[in-house]
Homo-oligomer: A and B are copies of this chain.
Amino acid sequence: MRRLATRTVLFHQAAAQSLGLFPTDLKSADLLNELGPLTAGELSEKTGLSSGAVTALIDRLEKAGYAKREKDPKDKRRVIIVPLTAGKSQVKELFQPLSASTKQLTNEYKREELDLIIQFISEAAEIMEQELQLLKSKS
């Protein structure tokens, strides 16, 4: 797990760098794609970044064309950060070789083996999320 985590962090560092972004920017764009539009406050909560850091992050995402600040159609007083398709496809392209290699790896496993692996990885992701919130609450 630790070896995978190290390579994951380094891979995302290199991937973000190749797009002129920080790793957190890339993963925040990913979070927006995964969860849909969020407010700056929600993005701060999800990423564990301070509100100042999130403001700078949204500025970079806007500049790079990955997201856009918009008035919430449901509540005009709220500003939401909306992921943009252009950035999405660029990120997708960057991760395409990794996705393909991972898909090839999964082909070597049986359905029931994959179910088990997916269950473990989902639980590990859940733990990582809890630990992130814990770490954030301490700082």
Contact = CB atoms under 8 A, between A and B. Distances in A.
Interface of A: 1-15, 17-18, 23-24, 26-27, 30-31, 34, 46-49, 94, 97-98, 101-102, 105, 109, 113, 116-117, 120-125, 127-132, 134-136, 138-139
- Tell me what chain A mostly uses at the interface: helix, strand, loop, or mixed: helix
B124 A105 contact: yes
A131 B9 contact: no
B13 A31 contact: no
Nearest to A18: B139
B48 A13 contact: yes
A139 B16 CA distance: 12
B109 A11 contact: no
